[in-house]
Structures are given as structure tokens and as C-alpha cells.
Structure 1
Amino acid sequence: MSSITQNMKYRLSLITYSESHGVSNAARKYKTNRQYVYRWKNRYDGSWDSFRDRSRRPHSHPNQLYP
């Protein structure tokens, strides 16, 4: 699925605002913390796919029956 969600638009606007006004001001305006802003700034690579949520599923589990 290649649809652009509201969360992705929110994250893009957060990044663009933080680049022009600073991370602290962006966190204050969007009512979030600076760590959240830095996380998305570091993950952003210029494509919409970098704003997608990643899976939280573990890569492996020690008691897993089948690999």
C-alpha cells in the first residue's frame, strides 16, 4: 500500500518546521518532545517511505519452534 496517511503528513510538517525554526520550537508547537523530533529527523531520507511506521515484531525469539 502506497497511500500517504495523516501521520506521515504530520511528520513531514514537523520536520520542515524544525529545520526552519529549531527542534525546541517545533516540539513546543506540535506538543511533543524533542526526542520525537530528533527520531524522525534522523529517520527521514527524503522519501515518504521513511515516515512509515515500522514493525515492532522481534527478529527472532529463543523459544520459537520454526525459524
Structure 2
Amino acid sequence: MKTIITEEMRFRQRIVEYAIKYNNNAKAARRYHTSRQQVWRWRKKYDGTVQSLANGSRQATFTS
């Protein structure tokens, strides 16, 4: 299955690349009006590709 690059993923990539460039998550969060924690999560997931910033599954898995 091929992942479609959405505008949201491109936006996340701009934020992450800005944070990496200045090595400052707080500065990127303020500039792009998001939280430091979210920038940190995206940076942690980012591997240089837009696809790495895609939303994962939100379905909870329960074991019995």
C-alpha cells in the first residue's frame, strides 16, 4: 500500500526540519503554534522521509 503525502505531513516535516536546524524544539513550537512535546515526538519518529511522520494506528489493542 502506498502512503499518500498529505499537507499535514509536509507541515510536520517543516516543523521538524526547523527544530533540527536550530536544535531547539521550543523555538519551532512557538513559530508553528504547536507544543514542544509534539515537536519532540515528531523529531523522534522522523527518519528523513515525509512518510515517517504519518499518523499511526489509533486503535487500542487489548489482551485478555
Superposed pair shares fold, TM > 0.5:
yes
Separation in structure 2 between the aligned mates of residue 35 and residue 9 of structure 1, nearest angstrom: 19
Range moving further from structure 2, 34-43 or 19-28: 19-28
Identity rate, percent: 34
Following superposition, the deviation at residue 19 of structure 1 comes to: 1.1
Larger of the two Rg values belongs to structure: 1
Higher helix proportion (structure 1 or 2) = 2
Structure 2 gap ranges (5+): none
Structure 1 runs, 4 residues or longer, greater than 6 Å off? none
- Give CA deviations for 1:10-55 in whole Å, capped at 9, x if unaligned: 0100011011222111010001110010000001122222111111
> How well do the aligned residues superpose, as a CA RMSD in angstroms?
1.4
Structure 1 gap ranges (5+): 63-67
Structure 1-normalised TM-score? 0.79
Whether the aligned pair in 1 keeps the contact of 2:18 and 2:28 (CA below 8 Å) is yes
Name the structure, 1 or 2, with higher relative contact order (CA <8 Å, separation 6+): 2
Separation in structure 2 between the aligned mates of residue 11 and residue 50 of structure 1, nearest angstrom: 10
Following superposition, the deviation at residue 59 of structure 1 comes to: 2.3
Aligned length: 62
3-state SS, counterpart of residue 9 of structure 1: helix
Structure 2-normalised TM-score? 0.83
